[in-house]
Amino acid sequence: MASVPSLAATVSQRVSDALSAALPEAGSADPLLRRSDRADFQANGMLALAKRLKGNPRELAAKVTDALPENDEIADIEVSGPGFLNITVADGALVRNLAARAEDERLGVPVTDSPRRMVIEYSQPNVAKEMHVGHLRGTVIGDALVRIMEHRGDEVIRRNHIGDWGTQFGMLIQYLIEHPHELDESGAEQGTESGGNAAMSRLNRLYKASREKFDADAEFKERSRRRVVELQAGDAETVALWQKIVDESKRYFNAVYHKLDVLLTDDDVVGESAYNDDLPVLARELEESGVAVRSDGALCVFFDDVKGPDGNPTPLIVQKADGGFGYAATDLAAVRNRVGVLKADTMLYVVDGRQALHFKMVFETARRAGWLPEGVAQHLEYGTVLGTDGKPFKTRSGESVRLMDLLGEAVERAAGVVREKAEQGGLGLSEEEVQDRAQQVGIGAVKYADLSTSRSRDYVFDLDRMVSLNGDTGVYVQYAYARVRSIFRKAADTAKPVAHPEVELAAQERALALQLDAFGDTLATVAETNEPHKLAAYLYELATLFGPFYEHCPVLHADTDEQRENRLFLCDLTARTLRQGLALLGIRTPERL
Ligand code: ARG
């Protein structure tokens, strides 16, 4: 495992050294290197520097170029405009650097020397309820972040904070006691999609039946209320039935996770109920320390800057007047556990943006209580999934859309695309192969559409667009990968392609090579900003640059053997980068499409 800095980083360092040499009074300044279409890179750090030193930016820039020692990386550097530096790198240096990266399984991307201990909380569906389209974003974004951070070298603890506690269980359990066969299995296999769906429809039936009775029958309502007390007191029969409902739900969640191809397992589930025993202790501590105060019998935390529409302060309610604990108390306990017991130094909460105020209050309360050091917890908000009408995505009858149905539809559409493409290309796929690829393409399409949108923005769920071969789609990037792989099948060279730094590069080769150079730096940015869409954008750009390269630079019919090998080398690194990058987003790469 050898990490290889990007050529961009090396060039930036060279310019920065020259800058310090030419202008000792500047100290160490960032030359602010950017990709540019005038040259390979443009450095515009001289502008701010000139302002600071009260000098002329063009003169400063000229001094910097003069101070640059002979080197292998920079082929040309010139001052332009108000004081930019336009930099062209040497073909040989570019290819040599990529060759070093290709030697490494991690493509030269370093493992961090400052690993974090992270909790990433994501997905968090509610027991006895459907997973709907709203759960898609959290699940997919959280999963990509887990993969990216683990790849960086962080130690990641996944947490699926499921909603498995609350008064609604009284009604469900009471109904089960009175109708003991309500959850009996109908024989569907465990661990399969149909098994998961069957579990969910049993739960739906239970939910509906008990709700109806609860609303219509006052005595049942009262029995349900007493059942909640039994549950909280840990009565064995009650807890066993509660567990049965939770397990049934997990069966369904796991079927969705399997279909969605995410990492979450039962080991990651630590639901709201897990913190039960901590809540009275926590409440006492908050009250004794004065962080929380009694207000109309409830235990509350107040904030100067959180007020309701009436101008009165809106508190975070730790304990209700009837003694019950709710959502906020559980979250406080989770914070305390993750920092105090799990020793997390970084916590990412991937949760809908509409819960921003809740997390602001929870984190601030935990901070006041001394449970949460500054800068450890972050709520990664995500936007809403919209329908093509621009409103929150709903079925025609106005219900929220079941995630499982949506995924099924995506796979079906993808099968159409795969079949058509295979017929065009004379691929002669069996129906099984079509289905297999459709799975990877359909799920990939849904995930890519989600991940390529900046996290906090809303986006329109449009399957037609998502499975299109044109535009910024998962299929497009997957297709670029399959196309590169097909070159190798045609080339029939089995040896690993060797780079030839002595071969001059065509413009399209340089563009592709410079994009390849940016892989590691992109991953570093993504891990720093928690923004997977930057990785998606990078991969899309890489896939896009492969087109003109392939068109203008014949690979198998190159002019010389060296050129052919060098192009094969670029193809190979492109494929590996696409595959690695998509894998970090949780998206598969079929070898043929
Ligand atoms: N289960 C909750 C819901 O569906 C989301 C939980 C978010 N995470 C948390 N730690 N509060 O709204």
Q: Is 548:112 a contact under the CB 8 Å cutoff?
A: no
Q: Is 466:460 a contact under the CB 8 Å cutoff?
A: no
Angstrom distance (rounded) from CA 464 to CA 462: 6
Q: What is the pTM of this model?
A: 0.95
Tell me if 128 CB under 6 Å of ligand 1: no
Tens of pLDDT along the chain (593 residues)?
A: 689 999 999 999 999 999 999 888 878 788 999 999 889 999 999 888 888 888 899 999 999 999 999 999 999 999 999 999 999 999 999 999 999 999 999 999 999 999 999 999 999 999 999 999 889 999 999 999 999 999 999 999 999 999 999 889 999 999 999 998 888 876 656 678 888 999 999 999 999 999 999 999 999 999 999 999 999 889 999 999 999 999 999 999 999 999 999 999 999 999 999 999 999 999 999 999 999 999 999 999 999 988 888 888 899 999 999 999 999 999 999 999 999 999 999 999 999 999 999 999 999 999 999 999 999 999 999 999 999 899 988 888 888 889 999 999 999 999 999 999 888 878 788 899 999 999 999 999 999 999 999 999 999 999 999 999 999 999 999 999 999 999 999 888 778 899 999 999 999 999 999 999 999 999 999 999 999 999 999 999 999 999 999 999 999 999 999 999 999 999 999 999 999 999 999 999 999 88
Tell me if 331 CB under 6 Å of ligand 1: yes
Q: Residue 312 to residues 44, 302, 306, 557: CA-CA distances in angstroms?
A: 50, 10, 9, 76
Looking at the CA of residue 162, tell me the nearest atom of ligand 1: 1
**ipTM attached to this prediction:** 0.98
Domain 444-584 top-level CATH class: mainly alpha
In whole angstroms, how large is the CA radius of gyration of the chain?
Answer: 29
Nearest residue (CA) to ligand 1, atom 11: 331
Nearest residue (CA) to ligand 1, atom 6: 124
Looking at the CA of residue 351, tell me the nearest atom of ligand 1: 7
pLDDT for 187 equals 61
Angstrom distance (rounded) from CA 321 to CA 318: 10
| Residue 340 tokens, joined | 């105090």
pLDDT for 188 equals 59
- b/e for 461-492, b at 16 or more Cβ within 10 A? bebeebbbeeebbbbbbbbbbbbbbebbeeee
Sheet with strand 117-121: strands edge to edge: 155-159, 117-121, 346-352, 377-382
> Is it true that domain 117-287+315-386 has CATH number 3.20.20.70?
no
For 62-197, strand residue ranges (E) read 74-80, 84-89, 117-121, 155-159
Q: Longest C-alpha distance within the chain, in Å?
A: 90
Tell me if 161 CB under 6 Å of ligand 1: yes
Tell me if 531 CB under 6 Å of ligand 1: no
Neighbours of 295 (CB within 10 A): 14
Tell which CATH architecture fits domain 7-89.
2-Layer Sandwich (3.30)
Domain ranges of the chain: 7-89, 117-287+315-386, 444-584
Angstrom distance (rounded) from CA 152 to CA 163: 31
Kindly tell me the sign of the dihedral angle through the C-alpha atoms of 304, 305, 309, 315. Answer: negative
| Residue 483 tokens, joined | 């196309």
